[in-house]
């Protein structure tokens, strides 16, 4: 699976947009970008995923650059409950094989009042 | 509510005393997996199962067993727990499908082996 690079930590003011970057310069054509988050010692929670196009759901937006070498997760109006470690994960089309996710260190997002 | 349920959530046990951590999902998912999370090492996969009666080793299977007799259940068995198995354990499940797949995780089981 392609390696990802994320900042160790970020701060955001409550109510403002949180923009979390992820670099995945070695991504290959069939690899998806997934974002999960983990609120202190709870189970990881799926946020969003994408292949080429930008995606939006009720939780967040995912912006993937045209060359697919980086992406940004956007939480449009961060709340204190969004304080968590955010993981950017790249993995290929499942193709019936092990659906293992390789979690790196992620970005600790702290939302401040 | 669609969910993955793990039990127990917290357990303190002693070396050598067999224990089972149960995992059950109500989403009719074919795929299930166990991870452990340790400080500085992140989440690591222990075992996974693509369907009933089909299981395989992940990255750190030593000291663990699993079974998949029913689609909804995927228990993690520690036959003879040791202190190095003190960890936070997560069960996860997913549909089996081509393309992207989304894992749903349980709330976690914190195990301490004395």
pLDDT of residue A1: 60
Q: Among B96, B35, B31, which Cα is nearest to A44's?
A: B35
Mutation target among B41, B105, B106 for the A interface, most CBs of A within 10 A? B105
In sequence order, the 6+-apart residues with CB closer than 8 A to the CB of A79 are A14, A15, A111
Quickly count: other Cβ atoms within 10 Å of residue A65's Cβ: 12
pLDDT of residue B38: 95
Q: Which residues of chain B have pLDDT under 50?
A: none
Cβ of residue A98 closer than 8 Å to a chain B Cβ? yes
Residue contact A41–B110, C-beta within 8 A: yes
The H-or-E segment that residue B65 falls in is strand B65-66
pLDDT of residue A92: 78
Cβ of residue B61 closer than 8 Å to a chain A Cβ? no
Residues in chain A: 113
A81 φ, ψ (degrees, to nearest 5) = -70, -10
Q: Cα–Cα distance between A45 and A103 in angstroms, integer?
A: 12
* Chain B residues within an 8 Å CB radius of A93: 98-100
| Structure tokens that stand for A63 in this block | 């912006």
Q: Which residues of chain A have pLDDT under 50?
A: none
User: Do residues A62 and A50 touch, judged by C-beta distance below 8 A?
Assistant: yes
* Chain A residues within an 8 Å CB radius of B98: 93-96
Query: Which residue has 């894992």 as its token pair?
Result: B103
pLDDT of residue A101: 83
A80 φ, ψ (degrees, to nearest 5) = -60, -30
Cβ of residue A8 closer than 8 Å to a chain B Cβ? no
């Amino acid at each position: 699976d392609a390696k990802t690079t994320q900042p160790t930590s970020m701060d955001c003011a409550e109510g403002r947009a949180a923009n979390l970057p992820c670099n995945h310069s070695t991504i290959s054509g069939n690899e998806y970008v997934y974002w999960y988050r983990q609120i202190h010692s709870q189970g990881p929670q799926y946020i969003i995923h994408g292949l080429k196009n930008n995606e939006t759901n009720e939780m967040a937006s995912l912006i993937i650059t045209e060359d697919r070498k980086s992406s940004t997760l956007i939480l449009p109006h961060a709340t204190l409950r969004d304080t968590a470690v955010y993981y950017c994960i790249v993995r290929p089309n499942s193709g019936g094989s092990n659906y293992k996710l390789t979690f790196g260190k992620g970005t600790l997002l702290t939302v401040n009042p | 509510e669609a969910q993955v349920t793990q039990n127990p959530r917290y357990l303190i046990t002693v070396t050598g005393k067999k224990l089972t951590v149960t995992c059950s999902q109500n989403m009719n998912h074919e795929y299930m997996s166990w991870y452990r999370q340790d400080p500085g090492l992140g989440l690591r996969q222990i075992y996974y199962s693509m369907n009933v009666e089909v299981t395989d080793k992940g990255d750190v299977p030593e000291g663990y067993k699993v079974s998949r007799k029913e689609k909804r259940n995927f228990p993690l068995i520690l036959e003879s727990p040791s202190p190095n198995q003190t960890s936070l354990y997560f069960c996860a499940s997913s549909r089996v499908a081509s393309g992207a797949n989304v894992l749903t995780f349980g709330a976690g089981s914190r195990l301490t082996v004395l």
